[in-house]
Structure 1
């Protein structure tokens, strides 16, 4: 009888251990990682890629929290958001201090080859034989060169002047760009036209490009527009931090990081290890956004397309076992 009782107790103990083990695995799967959606296309795309990997490759749940840059970044510091896939460090006044104090954790650099400035379609400078477009501004290389070509970029509402499409009203870059427009003497020959929104600016470029017409205006990378169309960024004098805000000199590239809540390594150590290795480029991002625009694809479908077509890139971010799970989910 005593022996039988001992056997029963042993069985109960083994069962309890097995249940505890299953509970631990289940508990990890119940962890939800919250990603910041600050509103622009590229951060949503990178969210979709990272979320697919942590869900399919690691078993986490993942969701986005939407808001302005200010609100989502504050939520990251508060721990209400776990991951920020695109922190444009120059646009976040307290970023360096927050990292230094440990309020957030910088995991790595997503990309740092981005650009912004004044762009023209390549065919304006070089022509396009396939579209029967002759070069209208051969020799156009710099912002100051625009003075020679006001008639090429004629403003339909201001006879005798050219038109430069400026930045969006309210954006910090708009103030800088307008000062550049004045400092370089472009105000004598051009009007500075402010589109009402980023969608209106994109539409102006896309419409002109599809018609093969000349246009010059502010834009930035990476976007679907720069991924889809051949645009040339006009050269400027070298960037100088002391004169930049006065509208003199080129725009600098911005270090765009992947950062996270300070407890990310305790909450999701394997996800943190993956995100430390996450690195793309402006070109890769722009191509993905162009695919999304051309095919009217969702962010998640675009992420799947990216993962299927860039295996050599993303498999470096994860373990072999995680990679196999992601590949299986893509089939």
Structure 2
């Protein structure tokens, strides 16, 4: 009788443990099971053609796909065409809205209820005109501001127009290209400098990196966060202090007589209004998506030095920065993303 009681107790105990294990396994499976996406079509991201946006787009797409069970797609292109696609509702999400560069177009669409900003991606973006530090400490010691540039045009000689210096601008179609072109005119520099527009963001990077490695002179526009700013020592030229009135007139007027420094801006996450209305869970994630200049520059430096894609850099970030990105999403979403990484 005692043996039967013991055996019976063991069976009951084993059954209880088995039942508990099954319950825990079921709970774990439930937490990592793919949920039903709230959008029954691919979510389309704006694949703006510079590295920081490619990184953010790849990072957000992975979380949306693995954490929320959605399909995604991306439309490559320049700033203005993709802004217009967002306004039309052809695209759903833009991970880097540099509003100050497209202010009139964006604010008009926002007032019409076609688009909206849902959060700040990074609050400390910088833009400006730069020269390498080796120039600032060497052949261009006296070059401190844009007002000094006429005296240094021979140092930055344009090989295609030797009587002028060369200013290396953004690709045509980028918002910064238009702003820099207006600045060159407003500062009276077009008589001394050519406005050289590179073909792509990669070509701009190559021109800067190539000059830096050979210790050659180069005058260029750039911004951060970027791997260029993370890897190379650059000096920003002084401009008249940022003035909202001067800035707004510069953006609206092709023949503005005054210009000023770029504002330090918060780069935001933007969406089309119809998408926002249909996808509250994804909007909640995007509204909590927060990084900063230094964090992203490190990710981009990893991407460049290891010669990996934006998606690979995003995966590295997810694996090494859990304390950052797990704050953007609910716990069950974070578990599904972590499961997909393993």
Task: Verify same fold: TM over 0.5.
Answer: yes
Look up the match of 1:6: none
Q: Would you say the 8 A contact 2:38–2:278 is kept in 1?
A: no
Mapped to 2, the partners of 1:97 and 1:164 lie a distance apart of 32
Following superposition, the deviation at residue 273 of structure 1 comes to: 1.3
Q: Deviations over 1:264-289 (max 9, x none)?
A: 46643332211111122233333323
CA drift of 1:172 comes to 5.8
Structure 2 CA distance, aligned partners of 1:200 and 1:32?
A: 35
Shift of 1:39: 3.3
Q: Please, what TM-score do these two structures have when normalized by structure 2?
A: 0.73
Select which of 291, 303, 309 maps to 2:320.
309
- Within a 5 Å distance, the mapping from 1:142-291 to structure 2 comes to 142-150=145-153, 152-156=155-159, 162-169=165-172, 173-174=176-177, 176-178=179-181, 180-181=183-184, 183-184=186-187, 186=189, 190-198=192-200, 199-244=202-247, 245=250, 246=256, 247-264=258-275, 267-291=278-302
Structure 2 distance, partners of 1:268, 1:170, is 30
Other structure's SS at 2:180 match:
helix
Look up the SS of the partner of 2:240 in the other structure: coil
Alpha-carbon offset, residue 252 of structure 1: 2.3
Describe the shift of the 1:239–1:323 C-alpha distance in structure 2 as closer, same or farther (beyond 3 A): same
**Which residue of the partner structure matches residue 300 of structure 1?**
311
Equivalence for 2:7: none
Q: Of the candidates 54, 68, 79, which is equivalent to residue 58 of structure 1? A: 68
Alignment partners' CA distance in 1, 2:122 and 2:296: 9
Pairing 1:49–2:52 present? no
Matched, 1:39 2:39: no
State the SS of the aligned residue for 2:296.
Answer: helix
Q: Please name the residue that 2:19 is paired with.
A: none
Moved more, 197-206 or 207-216: 197-206
Change (3 A) 1:140 1:324: farther
Name the counterpart of 1:141.
144
Measure how far apart 1:168 and its partner are.
4.0
For normalisation by structure 1, the TM-score amounts to 0.75
Give me the whole-angstrom Cα distance separating, in 2, the residues matched to 1:272 and 1:172. 26
RMSD, aligned CA: 3.3
Do the aligned partners of residues 55 and 208 (structure 1) sit closer, same or farther apart at CA in structure 2, a change above 3 Å counting? same
The correspondence of residues 104-115 of structure 1 with structure 2, limited to 5 A, is 104-115=115-126
**Is the 8 Å Cα contact of residues 33 and 82 (structure 1) preserved in structure 2?**
no
- The more displaced of 51-60 and 266-275 is 266-275
CA deviations 1:69-94 (Å, max 9, x no partner) are 45544444454433222223231534
Q: Distance in 2 between matches of 1:163 and 1:229?
A: 20
